[in-house]
Amino acid sequence: MPSFLTAALYKFVELPDYAALQAPLLACCEAQGVKGTLLLAAEGINGTIAGPEAGVRAVLTYLRSDARLAALEHKEAWADHLPFYRMKVRLKREIVTMGVPEVHPALMAGEYVKPENWNALLAEPGVVLVDTRNDYEVSIGTFEGAINPATSSFSELPAWVEREMLEGGRLAPVDGKKPRVAMFCTGGIRCEKSTALMRSKGFDEVYHLEGGILKYLETVPEVQSRWQGECFVFDERVSVGHGLKPGDFTLCRSCRDPLSDADRASPLYELGVSCPHCHGKTTEEQKAGYRERQRQVELAEKRQAAHIGVRQPGA
């Protein structure tokens, strides 16, 4: 059985004293041999940690000892190798950056829809379905009929919403009434904040997929699924399919985009250096640096040692 437990977690909750939580939380993680990254902000906590099962569960217990985090939920996965090499607890303005200070997900988020009820919602007439993830994530899989805002970062979503609310836009009122909107993301955090944004814009009927795409793929049988393709994930798996089975994509270590078999067969692909998405966007000097990094990675693998210079997916 794999020996390392990974726990992904987030919770929107008012934490005005978040800065004071940093040092004790870091000390707890280090004492338990846990690695990863946790983000603290006035709006809550977000991150992924990994380590020995007892250590990870001790950190989760420590977090839930704070009454404000007592209902904190997490998602688990197992790994043969520790996926992180350091432990970081960072202070941020937002746990997921949108750049709209007046949006408070802990108070304003839309209505949760459980995965087993998601298909029924999407079948209802007049529901506008929005994928809140970035374009490179949407490119490898999404729900049938979903709108892709074609953003390169989550902070671009508010401007897209403003444009689509104008006359003729996909979020524009129909007969004076704003449409019903359903939003989704990988694990729930971005769509929870997105629905809060929509409510701040006057949308009354806003829904988001509880647990995100990952919970849907875990819960809904493939024969009943409205999901098409694979789901990008921010860990060493890169992508997953129905039943959360590892997918066929790998990661470009230069631009961080997911790569298909066709991408890896391209003459523009060079392991650790470039891919069809980024080959023309980096200089020869940068490529030379990436080649040296890849050489060091391969040397470390031969020595069966970790190369801590390699950034993890999503880092």
Question: In a 3-state reduction of DSSP, which class is residue 2?
Answer: coil
Q: Which residues pair with 75 in a beta bridge?
A: 8
Judging by DSSP bridges, how do beta strands 231-232 and 206-209 pair with one another? unpaired
CB atoms within 10 A of CB 195: 26
For the chain, helix (H) and strand (E) counts, in that order, are 10, 15
Q: Is 7 exposed, middle or buried (0-12, 13-18, 19+ CB in 10 A)?
A: buried
User: Which residues are marked as active site?
Assistant: 185
CA distance 193 to 167: 25
Q: How far is CA 172 from CA 144, 151, 165, in A?
A: 21, 19, 4
CA distance 145 to 118: 13
What is the C-alpha radius of gyration for the chain, rounded to an integer number of angstroms? 20
Question: In a 3-state reduction of DSSP, which class is residue 51?
Answer: strand
- Residue whose pair of structure tokens reads 């004293």 in the numeric block: 17
Contact between 47 and 36 under an 8 Å Cβ cutoff? The reply is yes
CA distance 262 to 120: 35
What tokens does 65 get? 């000892």
Residues sharing a CB contact under 8 Å with residue 34, sequence separation 6 or more, in sequence order:
49, 50, 51, 52, 55, 56, 59, 87
CA distance 187 to 164: 25
